[in-house]
Structure 1
Amino acid sequence: MDIFVLLPKGFCTQIQELQMTTVIEDNVHVFAAHGNSDEIDEPIKELFADVDFARKYNLMSLNSVNWSRIMVQIAHYFYAYFQCAPSLDTTPLPVVEIVVPTGGGGNITAGCIAQKMGLPIRLAAVVNSNDIIHRTVQHGDFSLAESVKATLASAMDIQEPYNVERILWLLSGSDSHLIKMLMEQFSISKSVKLPEDLHRKLSETLRSCSASDEDIVGAMRRCWEENQYLLCPHSAVAAHYQYSQPDSIPRCCLAPASAAKFQDAVLRAGLVPQIPPEITALTAMETRSTALERGQDWAQVLRGWIEAVAQQWVSQGNSGQVVTQT
């Protein structure tokens, strides 16, 4: 198995980059792309859209393009519910609100499926300044902003959340024809106004909120002052919702990452980074990556690498699988 890792150069922290570029293994191929998260998704989509190529080289994705990732996350919602529900002896069961930091929309899709399965949860999708999902929930406006904004919650700096397609399909009653038409329109114009009935179902299923960088550092600071718990900026997006929109029902905020990877955000909040020795050690390790420059055909570059790697497997008498991770 060979692993191809694409990282958005300049759109993740130094520690995040080091966690990828210091993996010096023959079967790990790290590419530092001079583009944002949406831009590095494009060559991946192109490779998977070439069905013959994907089958020939056994391509598999490890981000939430892969349904298996979402399927596993469904279990998190049941676990969170049983941790937070005040009682399981009442009828109907009490409702728990789960607040989800949202970028590509994979995690909140898992929540929507758990809700469809009968779990009594209310869902809140909270985004950073890249607020396409918030605008879609509030106004039915599924359209790109002028550009992707770099924020403290860098893993959520996404303007084309591909899992929205899955959520809309789920809420449309599995109307594949409608969703295909909407997504083809979005692919061409980068702007779709949801049909009124579909927007109503979406707004009934999800609450939403947008958190600025100032909101993020404010939530990090408050959580530390009140709980001595150091939030990462992505977790702080959810905490901002908790602090700004109090409610009487039980609530769980999902925390997707460690603050150790986001020292600049911690410092900006006026707090002291807590850096494990394993993270500190990364700065002294050898790094290796291949640059993907603007102007290059990134999909073609990846095709060449995948073909070359596969040829090595063949020469060794094996057939390999290629895993992509963005």
Structure 2
Amino acid sequence: MEDYYSKGVAKIPQAILDVASKGIHTERITQEEALSTAKMIWEKYHYIICPHTAVGVAGATKADPSFSSTLSVCLATATAAKFPDFVHLIGDNVPIPSHPCVDNLKETTQEEAQSTQSSIDSPPTKTVEISANGELRKVNLIVLYPKHSISTLQRLQMTTVQSPNIRTFSCDNASDSFDNMIIDIFNDQNFAKKHNMLWVNSPNVGRLVCHTVHHIYTYLKLCPSCDNDVTFYIPSGALVDSTSAYLSQCMGVPVKVVSVVNENDFFHKCLTQGYLYKPLNVINTPSCSMDTVFPHNIERILFLLAKGDATLVKSIMEDYHSKGVAKIPQTILDVASKGIHTERITQEEALTTAKMIWEKYHYIHICPHTAVGVAGATKADPSFSLTLSVCLATATAAKFLILFISLEIMYQYLVILVLII
């Protein structure tokens, strides 16, 4: 690279070219070839591709005209709706594809932009959303957090961001209470549509989709040949990670799912007792993001376990909401027994596990939520001998300094953790 930048030219060693010849090749496509390919795709399949995708498909047809050498994939890079001029070149009668992200684009004033999107977030650890949305002109972010069940550092992370589009409110009640308030807002469809509301908490299906990718990626890193099972031990509150892991399993990824809960054990009772019960109140624990009496993704995971029987799930939830209790059909429990299990961990068990991790490995980054997951793993498979195992780590331990006081860990390590974040 020094030769390239200083002389404008650099020779590639033959050793590199020999390796490349066995693993990566190139094709050069002209504009005419790309356009010709796009026309062929339209005439043959009535499918409109963008100019970038056309280059890729043209390269594939040049390299292997019959597509007979191997299974082939051409990456599609964008919607053709973004390139109307290119679509017109394909043919005068070729329609411009419709796409909501393109159709809704328009010039906005500063005032219009500020009212474009209102987002609500409620969990106690969602500083990521605050950082991501700060200073965005088209987003107003409203953050609600439970005053009495988060750490000081968590509170400071949310309340010290100086962005005009972010409003943070503390609430006296537990997170379930103001989650219900947000649900009422979204049930008023006219209000939600008028203000372009978006809930970025775990009920948003986008969260579930993203986490599904995480599970598949992790599996492939551990088993690139897809020749083994991997068990995921998941600290669970609203069940977004557990649902996404089970969705991965439904898609054919050979993963086993163990949903590990703390004393707020709604889902554990669901699978072990066969009923949905309305708990009296939330139990506050050090793993505060898991302190929920009603996991928002319970309907989604029941839907997957019911093999897509929406009518059955609706009946279960109607019984639950009207009577305070609902029986889980045996057919759902039978499916669950083969694909997803639960473990219930007490605060004492989680703390004991965190101490063990510190004493045995001098590892300081295990937060209270992660401790619940690891405790569940050691309870389910003490020797970790049954399958390859993954325990999801949920947060930096520096946000929960009170835990380290319990662990009697040296002060300098606490300082290091605070500086890290």
TM bracket, shorter-chain basis: 0.7 to 0.9
Residue number among 177, 185, 198 corresponding to 1:47 in the alignment? 185
Shift of 1:233: 0.5
1:178-193, aligned counterparts within 5 Å? 178-193=312-327
1:152-231, aligned counterparts within 5 Å? 152-230=286-364, 231=366
Task: Report the counterpart of residue 244 of structure 1 in structure 2.
Answer: 379
CA contact (8 A) 2:237 2:291 kept: yes
Please give the secondary structure, in 2, of the residue aligned with 1:31: strand
Please give the secondary structure, in 2, of the residue aligned with 1:173: coil
Task: Report the counterpart of residue 108 of structure 1 in structure 2.
Answer: 242
Rounded Cα–Cα distance in structure 2 between residues aligned with 1:206 and 1:160: 19
CA contact (8 A) 2:373 2:391 kept: yes
Deviates more, 1:243-252 or 1:256-265: 243-252
1:117-128, aligned counterparts within 5 Å? 117-128=251-262
CA contact (8 A) 2:398 2:417 kept: no
Task: Report the counterpart of residue 41 of structure 2 in structure 1.
Answer: none
Residue number among 151, 156, 174 corresponding to 1:13 in the alignment? 151
TM-score by length of 2: 0.63
CA contact (8 A) 2:343 2:380 kept: no
Deviates more, 1:255-264 or 1:21-30: 21-30
**One-letter code aligned to 1:33:** C
Matched length = 278
Shift of 1:207: 1.3
**One-letter code aligned to 2:377:** Q
Please give the secondary structure, in 2, of the residue aligned with 1:99: strand
1:302-313, aligned counterparts within 5 Å? none
Percent identical among aligned pairs is 29
Shift of 1:277: 7.4
**One-letter code aligned to 2:305:** L
Deviations 1:32-91 (A, max 9, x none): 011112112011101111111111111111111111111011111112212333x627xx
Structure 2 stretches lacking a partner, 5+ long: 1-138
1:257-296, aligned counterparts within 5 Å? 257-272=395-410, 274-275=413-414, 279=418
Rounded Cα–Cα distance in structure 1 between residues aligned with 2:327 and 2:171: 32
Deviations 1:146-186 (A, max 9, x none): 22100010000011001010011112121111111211221
Does residue 1:88 correspond to 2:225, yes or no?
A: yes
CA contact (8 A) 1:104 1:161 kept: yes
Deviations 1:91-124 (A, max 9, x none): xx21110110000001111101111111000000
Deviates more, 1:221-230 or 1:117-126: 221-230
Residue number among 175, 197, 209 corresponding to 1:59 in the alignment? 197
Shift of 1:228: 1.8
Deviates more, 1:194-203 or 1:8-17: 194-203
Rounded Cα–Cα distance in structure 1 between residues aligned with 2:281 and 2:245: 28
Q: Which has the larger radius of gyration?
A: 2
Task: Report the counterpart of residue 3 of structure 1 in structure 2.
Answer: 141
Change over 3 Å in CA distance of 1:138–1:281 after alignment to 2: closer
**One-letter code aligned to 2:225:** L
Shift of 1:279: 4.7
CA contact (8 A) 2:259 2:341 kept: yes
CA contact (8 A) 2:303 2:310 kept: yes
Structure 1 stretches lacking a partner, 5+ long: 283-326
Task: Report the counterpart of residue 130 of structure 1 in structure 2.
Answer: 264
Please give the secondary structure, in 2, of the residue aligned with 1:192: strand
Shift of 1:244: 2.0
Rounded Cα–Cα distance in structure 2 between residues aligned with 1:162 and 1:50: 18
**One-letter code aligned to 2:363:** Y
Please give the secondary structure, in 1, of the residue aligned with 2:234: strand
**Alignment RMSD:** 1.9
Deviations 1:274-305 (A, max 9, x none): 446795799xxxxxxxxxxxxxxxxxxxxxxx
CA contact (8 A) 1:138 1:203 kept: no
